[in-house]
């Protein structure tokens, strides 16, 4: 049975679309480049920013790093709070903690930004640890998961009892790389149709209630 639950942040615990898109447009403007259409910008929600700048915009590594700097220039003071808790998720986390589950955040977003977001939207009290990327550079999802396990003192033997919860294939693939299961959530439809199942999610749910039912029955 699952006893330890790792949560992604953007698109899973919160709907971060407004802040991320506003900060991306700001970054492109600061770099003197036209912003891609919204259909492209939405793809930035979930994976590491550097990867997205290079994959979706053809940026070099150097340009991508500059893009991240410009993005964070607005995101740190303003964009991170242009956000909203996913319906029912703060309450779900509180109930799971009361039942004895160990909860943790595992996000590729910089940790220094994850902490105030979790505090503002009511997730922090339920989390045993809040893990994100270091200040410089975005970690891959597997890096974040390994670090979360390390902080909680979890070993190879604990893997069958750990569940990752995320909204993009990067969460599923990162969890698989670390040898743990991942359930996909489609709260805001940021993933392409079928993306989560095709990546190997053990289940795909659309509401906090469905997620709770899955966790309690497995």
Q: Which residues are catalytic?
A: 8
Of 5, 3, 1, the closest CA to residue 175 belongs to 5
CB 75 within 8 A of CB 100: no
> From CA 153, how far away is CA 170, in angstroms rounded?
24
Would you state the structure tokens that stand for residue 132, as one six-digit string?
């994100």
> From CA 82, how far away is CA 136, in angstroms rounded?
23
N-term to C-term CA, the chain: 5
CA atoms in the 13 A half-sphere facing the CB of 75: 24
Helix (H, G, I), strand (E, B) or coil at 131: strand
CA atoms in the 13 A half-sphere facing the CB of 8: 31
């Amino acid at each position: 049975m699952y006893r330890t639950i790792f949560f992604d942040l953007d698109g899973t615990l919160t709907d971060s679309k407004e802040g991320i898109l506003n900060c991306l447009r700001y970054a492109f403007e600061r770099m003197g480049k036209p912003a891609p259409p919204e259909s492209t910008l939405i793809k930035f929600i979930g994976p590491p920013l550097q990867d997205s700048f290079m994959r979706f915009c053809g940026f070099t590594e150097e340009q991508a790093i500059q893009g991240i700097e410009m993005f964070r220039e607005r995101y740190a003071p303003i964009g991170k709070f242009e956000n909203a808790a996913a319906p029912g998720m703060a309450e779900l986390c509180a109930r799971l903690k009361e039942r004895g589950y160990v909860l943790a955040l595992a996000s590729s977003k910089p940790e220094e930004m994850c902490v105030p977001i979790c505090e503002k939207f009511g997730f922090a009290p339920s989390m045993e640890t809040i893990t994100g990327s270091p200040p410089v550079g975005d970690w891959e999802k597997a890096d974040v998961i390994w670090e979360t396990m390390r902080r909680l003192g979890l070993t190879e033997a604990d893997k069958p009892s750990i569940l990752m919860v995320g909204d993009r294939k990067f969460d599923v693939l990162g969890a698989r790389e670390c040898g743990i299961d991942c359930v996909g959530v489609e709260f805001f439809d940021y993933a392409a149709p079928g993306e989560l199942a095709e990546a190997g999610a053990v289940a795909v749910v659309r509401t906090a209630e469905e997620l709770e039912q899955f966790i309690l029955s497995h």
